[in-house]
Amino acid sequence: NSDRANAAMKLVFRGMFLHSTRQTALEVLEDALLGVDTDGKIAFIGKSQELEKLSQTFGFNPSDVIQLTQHEFFMPGMVDTHIHASQYSYAGTALDMPLLQWLNTYTFPVESRFKDLEFAHRVYTQVVKRTLRNGTTTACYFATIHTDASLLLGQIANDFGQRALVGKVCMDRKNSVNYCETTSESKDETCRFITELLNRKYPLVKPVVTPRFVPSCTKDLLRQLGTIAKKTNLHIQSHISENVEEVKLVKEQFPDFKSYADIYHKHNLLTDKTVMAHGCYLSDEELSLFRETGASLSHCPNSNISLCSGVLNVRNVLEHKVKLGLGTDVAGGYSASMLDAIRRTLDVSKFLTIQNPEHSTLTFEEVFRLATLGGSEALSLDVKTGNFEVGKDFDALRVNLSVPGGPIDLIQNTEPKIQLEKFLNLGDDRNIVEVFVAGRKPHSLSSGVLEKPRR
């Protein structure tokens, strides 16, 4: 603790903290004290009886301590490991077709509109504000093929104060609506996107190399994107094995490869900074390849069900020791709330148990870990987040179960574990009374409704 004692203290809270560690899916710290330094990092976490000693070591005034109420607790901010910011405008609609038709009918025409920066500004502002309100402190975003609009998404996330990975989408195979690039455009614009975003030195936002998925990319493009990712040591995101037709198409396009995962692997696109969405149809051998390369999976249950794509057996993925986080996959998934992703994850796991009573159902504590620490680890961010360990950035939600007009009626039991269970199953954004990213309140929330982000 004491090596952080020199940093000035910005915030000290006293109350209940709920988080996960690698060893324990739910650790309860009742009546704890947590200090955040001026860099937004957790300086200490201790018992409230240590107030005297901690205030001396870390140089804060005990009267400045912020006391949570009886029905409040802190939990880590949630990590959305897969969301298409550009699809937010039609979230909640257009869920009547399987993936490949859905892309051509609804998705590609809408994404084409992001050439228009004014449209992009409207949609991207809405999605960043909405996800922050819903408690998403980190989002891993797909934008569109348009470099300038993708840069704008990075700016908006940073200005509002959300931690984000942002990808300019790459796709060089023709489709029916002519939403695509040439191979060299895709490569050159990816380089321009990366350079410009890094040059802006946003503290919270980093670029991610983003081949849309194998069916949208030629071998040549996959190779060039793999080379870029390797040279720059950047993050990579894409989709894999989401839907049966897609898997079949990939086999036809790349007959010489052992598997879908092998195609990404042979193009240097499976690394310990890769996150792949879905993976419903991955073989155990492919999961082993994920394990060996350190690549992770984003589980998007709302999307998997809404587009009738498939069912991911999360237990099997975890048994293969593959890193896994949760994703909303807006707009294939209709909800931009990670609480929804938690609930769908539990539903799908229970459905697997209905089908096979031997299946070991995920617990709500395990799914809580996937939505927080699991997501943070799946994204392999340089800045560590995901729980309340000393030295990590303070990305956190202050939850109040008993807000006036809120969705939860607390009739009796206030046991910590049960409070969390109530919130995960019944809560919504009304219960998220404060959001912190790197120790600061996101700009869209700190002063009520704010239309213009800070510059």
Residues that bind Fe ion (CB under 5 A): 277, 329
Indicate the residue among 142 and 388 with the shorter CB distance to Fe ion. 142
Please state whether 98 falls in left (phi above 0), alpha (psi between -120 and 50) or beta: beta
242: contact with ligand GUN by CB under 6 A: yes
> What phi, psi does 364 have (nearest 5°)?
-65, -30
Indicate the residue among 78 and 277 with the shorter CB distance to Fe ion. 277
From the list 21, 12, 17, the residue with the least C-alpha distance to 420 is 17
Q: The dihedral of CA 378, 379, 384, 387: what is its sign?
A: negative
Position 13: which residue type? F
Closest approach, Cβ 84 to ligand GUN, in A, equals 5
144: contact with ligand GUN by CB under 6 A: no
As a whole number of angstroms, the distance between CA 349 and CA 201 comes to 41
108: contact with ligand GUN by CB under 6 A: no
Which of 80, 329, 340, 393 is the binder for ligand GUN (CB under 6 A)?
A: 329
Indicate the residue among 83 and 435 with the shorter CB distance to ligand GUN. 83
Partner from Fe ion, ligand GUN, none binding residue 270, C-beta < 5-8 Å depending on class: none
Position 281: which residue type? Y
Closest approach, Cβ 305 to ligand GUN, in A, equals 12
Indicate the residue among 242 and 366 with the shorter CB distance to ligand GUN. 242
Which of 107, 131, 137, 162 is the binder for ligand GUN (CB under 6 A)?
A: 107
CB-based contacts of 31: which residues, under 8 Å, 6+ apart?
Answer: 14, 15, 16, 47, 48
Indicate the residue among 242 and 377 with the shorter CB distance to ligand GUN. 242
Number of residues near ligand GUN (by CB under 6 A): 11
Closest approach, Cβ 22 to ligand GUN, in A, equals 30
CB environment 14-51: b (16+ within 10 A), e (fewer): bbbbbbbeeeebbebbeebbbbbbeebbbbbbbeeeeb
211: contact with ligand GUN by CB under 6 A: no
Indicate the residue among 243 and 372 with the shorter CB distance to ligand GUN. 243
88: contact with ligand GUN by CB under 6 A: no
Region near ligand GUN per CB under 6 A, out of 8-16, 99-107, 133-141, 351-359: 99-107
304: contact with ligand GUN by CB under 6 A: no
As a whole number of angstroms, the distance between CA 103 and CA 83 comes to 15
Three-class SS state of 23: coil
181: contact with ligand GUN by CB under 6 A: no
Partner from Fe ion, ligand GUN, none binding residue 107, C-beta < 5-8 Å depending on class: ligand GUN
Indicate the residue among 80 and 242 with the shorter CB distance to ligand GUN. 242
Partner from Fe ion, ligand GUN, none binding residue 18, C-beta < 5-8 Å depending on class: none
Position 301: which residue type? P
239: contact with ligand GUN by CB under 6 A: yes
Beta-carbon count within 10 A of 144 CB: 27
Indicate the residue among 193 and 213 with the shorter CB distance to ligand GUN. 213
What DSSP letter does each residue of 431-447 carry, written as one string?
Answer: GEEEEEBTTB--HHHHT
Indicate the residue among 168 and 212 with the shorter CB distance to ligand GUN. 212
303: contact with ligand GUN by CB under 6 A: yes
The residue of the chain with the least Cβ separation from ligand GUN equals 332
Strand runs (DSSP E) across 357-407, as ranges? 396-400
Partner from ligand GUN, Fe ion, none binding residue 242, C-beta < 5-8 Å depending on class: ligand GUN
84: contact with ligand GUN by CB under 6 A: yes
Going by the DSSP 8-state scheme, the letter that residue 77 receives in this structure is P
212: contact with ligand GUN by CB under 6 A: yes
CB-based contacts of 359: which residues, under 8 Å, 6+ apart?
Answer: 313, 315, 349, 352, 353
332: contact with ligand GUN by CB under 6 A: yes
As a whole number of Å, the end-to-end CA separation of the chain is 35
Q: Using an 8 Å Cβ cutoff, are 238 and 167 in contact?
A: no
As a whole number of angstroms, the distance between CA 339 and CA 78 comes to 9
Q: Using an 8 Å Cβ cutoff, are 367 and 355 in contact?
A: no
Closest approach, Cβ 303 to ligand GUN, in A, equals 5
Prior bond to 331 cis, omega within 30? Answer: yes
Closest approach, Cβ 239 to Fe ion, in A, equals 5
Indicate the residue among 103 and 312 with the shorter CB distance to ligand GUN. 103
* Residues contributing to the site for ligand GUN (CB under 6 A): 84, 99, 103, 107, 212-213, 239, 242, 303, 329, 332
